[in-house]
Structure 1
Amino acid sequence: MNVLPQTELLAHLDDTSLVIVDCRFQLGKPDAGREAYEASHITGAIYLDLEKDLSAPLDPDGYGGRHPLPDAAQLTGTLSRVGISNDSVVVAYDDQGGAMASRLWWLLKYLGHEKVYVLDEGFAAWVNAGRPVSAEIRTPEPAQFLATVQHNRLIEMDEVLEKLEEDGVKLIDSRDGARYRGEVEPIDKKAGHIPGAMNLFWGESRTADGTWKSQDEHVARFEQAGLAKDDEIIVYCGSGVTATPNVMALEEAGYTRVRLYAGSWSDWISYGENPIATGNEE
């Protein structure tokens, strides 16, 4: 289980091993998430910023994408500073359907931490249910987090390029259909997708009411897309953030060879010689 029901979190709010992390963030409004946290958050939660804490600084030459993967040592220091240890049970939440919280989930898994969950439905549902919130900014007691980096969870651009024609390799573009087809591109400098990629929008990991789909529903979704359990699956999006809910869903559906292209589309197009496709794949 990667997604935690709200009732489960409510029942364990007093657990000393629990660390709740507010991951709210709005693209184009970099201070909005922290301001929302300071106004009101789940009682006891600390805040981690997508761009300041969960990404590295932008590369001056434009490589690495819009949200480059943070250095493992730097991220380990950040986690330790906010009180996350190897014994912590981490629950991340946002109000963007789990997209930002899933970034923290993936980073912790990448560093070898298994006890991490995304809160189902997010902050708005927590508030609407009358569950405890606070504006108090908690100063966490530092802890020690030691990473065991899981390199098999990550793939870099050069290897993606090598695998484009390889049998048994499936690419998943997690962006919405219009961006995948290259019909619109509101963020990045070039439109389209990596040749051969299929389009599986990350939001389809949730039901119409915003709750996380069941394991059986995830299985049906990916089987319908033609994914086999022994496929090597590469998942990307615009900058490596909204791809992570698809990674979570794939793992819940029993796929074990899933890798994130963290730089994603914004990194891919920074190499002018890389091929670009538009429209739907046959």
Structure 2
Amino acid sequence: MLAVPDDLPLVVEPLQILPYLQAPNLIVVDLCSALRYQQGHLPGARWLDPKRTQRGTPPAPGLAPELLQLSQLFGELGHHQDAVYLVYDDEGGGWAGRFIWLLDLIGHKRMHYLNGGLPAWLDEGLPLSQELPAAHVRRAALTLCDAPSADCNYIKSRLHAEDLVIWDARSAAEYHSGHIPTAVHFEWTAGMDRERSLRIRVDISERLGALGITEDKQVITHCQTHHRSGFTYLLARSLNFPRIKAYPGSWAEWGSRADTPIES
């Protein structure tokens, strides 16, 4: 069995990762619906209910799960320090990108996103499986780091900093009904190429650059609950932005507080 090369990029193509699906340290995570997973998934993939990647409690349901829940979640996936993750969904990368953020949150280093997810895999005519991998019943020993995240108070303290870009990934209607001051709008699906099975647009760097979303800035991305902005976080990571953060509280938190300024 071939080992996953160390030099594979964060975003991989289906044919690029295919030879390594049987690698012993590869953990493939499917974040599609339960029905879609049952109908067929990448060989060896383990299903994870996307909702388990969120805390789910108001007023900020997009916060990361508590450490105990994360330990349970990663334990079920068979997490270990030498694991290489391959993550995908069937919506273009929202849930998969959020899982990439969780991996950053626990300080894990080796991870890949299947470009375009399940639609791209199917477009290449590659095989699916209905076999279920053996279950793991244990908890993983994890520690959390703050680097991938920004909270409400941090954003308020840096709102008008010249080196900060707040990236709002919601719809135009949501953005214009109220947004964080200075936020730049680029709706999450605008980064996907529908002619190429939801792969990341090849001109994404130029599109973001035209909006001032560039690698020299600290970029903080959000949506309503840090689901859609999972993809925009992934986009910035794929472009090697060194100071990308997600705001997991997102608009659900910001828009509900009395002490947060709002523009429309």
Fold equivalence (TM over 0.5): yes
Q: Is the 8 A contact 2:221 2:245 kept in 1?
A: yes
Partner of 1:185: none
Q: Which amino acid aligns with 2:43?
A: T
Partner of 2:230: 244
Q: Which amino acid aligns with 1:63?
A: P
Residues 33-48 of structure 1 correspond to what in structure 2 (within 5 A)?
33-48=33-48
Residues 67-146 of structure 1 correspond to what in structure 2 (within 5 A)?
67-141=62-136, 145-146=140-141
Task: Mark the CA change 1:219 to 1:130 in structure 2 (over 3 Å): closer, same or farther.
Answer: closer
Q: Is the 8 A contact 2:14 2:124 kept in 1?
A: no
Query: Hey, what's the Cα distance between the residues in 1 that align with 2:184 and 2:141?
Result: 36
Partner of 2:3: none
Q: Is the 8 A contact 2:120 2:199 kept in 1?
A: no
Q: Is the 8 A contact 2:11 2:238 kept in 1?
A: no
Shift of 1:120: 1.2
Task: Mark the CA change 1:133 to 1:228 in structure 2 (over 3 Å): closer, same or farther.
Answer: closer
Task: Mark the CA change 1:206 to 1:124 in structure 2 (over 3 Å): closer, same or farther.
Answer: closer
Shift of 1:77: 2.6
SS in 1 for 2:120: helix
Task: Mark the CA change 1:129 to 1:151 in structure 2 (over 3 Å): closer, same or farther.
Answer: same
Identity %: 25
What's the TM-score, normalizing by structure 1?
0.82
Structure 2, unpaired ranges of 5+: 1-8
Instruction: Tell whether 2:252 aligns with 1:266.
Output: yes
Aligned length: 254
Instruction: Tell whether 2:213 aligns with 1:213.
Output: no
SS in 1 for 2:16: helix
Instruction: Tell whether 2:180 aligns with 1:194.
Output: yes
Q: Is the 8 A contact 1:84 1:142 kept in 2?
A: no
Partner of 1:55: 54
Residues 23-38 of structure 1 correspond to what in structure 2 (within 5 A)?
23-24=31-32, 33-38=33-38
Query: Hey, what's the Cα distance between the residues in 1 that align with 2:28 and 2:215?
Result: 33
Structure 1, unpaired ranges of 5+: 25-32, 183-191
Shift of 1:41: 1.4
Q: Which amino acid aligns with 1:47?
A: W
Shift of 1:270: 2.1
Higher alpha-carbon deviation: 115-124 or 88-97: 115-124
Shift of 1:145: 4.1
Query: Hey, what's the Cα distance between the residues in 1 that align with 2:201 and 2:77?
Result: 31
Q: Larger helix proportion, structure 1 or 2?
A: 2
Higher alpha-carbon deviation: 38-47 or 222-231: 222-231
Q: Is the 8 A contact 1:240 1:261 kept in 2?
A: yes
What's the TM-score, normalizing by structure 2?
0.87
Q: Which amino acid aligns with 2:35?
A: E
Query: Hey, what's the Cα distance between the residues in 1 that align with 2:214 and 2:167?
Result: 13
Which digits, 9 at most, give the CA deviation of each residue in 1:53-92, with x for residues without a partner? Answer: 211241xxx322x333112342133112221212111111
SS in 1 for 2:224: coil
Q: Which amino acid aligns with 1:213?
A: R
What do you get for the CA RMSD once the two structures are aligned? 2.0
Task: Mark the CA change 1:78 to 1:221 in structure 2 (over 3 Å): closer, same or farther.
Answer: same
Which digits, 9 at most, give the CA deviation of each residue in 1:11-30, with x for residues without a partner? Answer: 11211111111101xxxxxx
Query: Hey, what's the Cα distance between the residues in 1 that align with 2:214 and 2:56?
Result: 37
Q: Which amino acid aligns with 1:92?
A: V
Query: Hey, what's the Cα distance between the residues in 2 that align with 1:36 and 1:250?
Result: 28
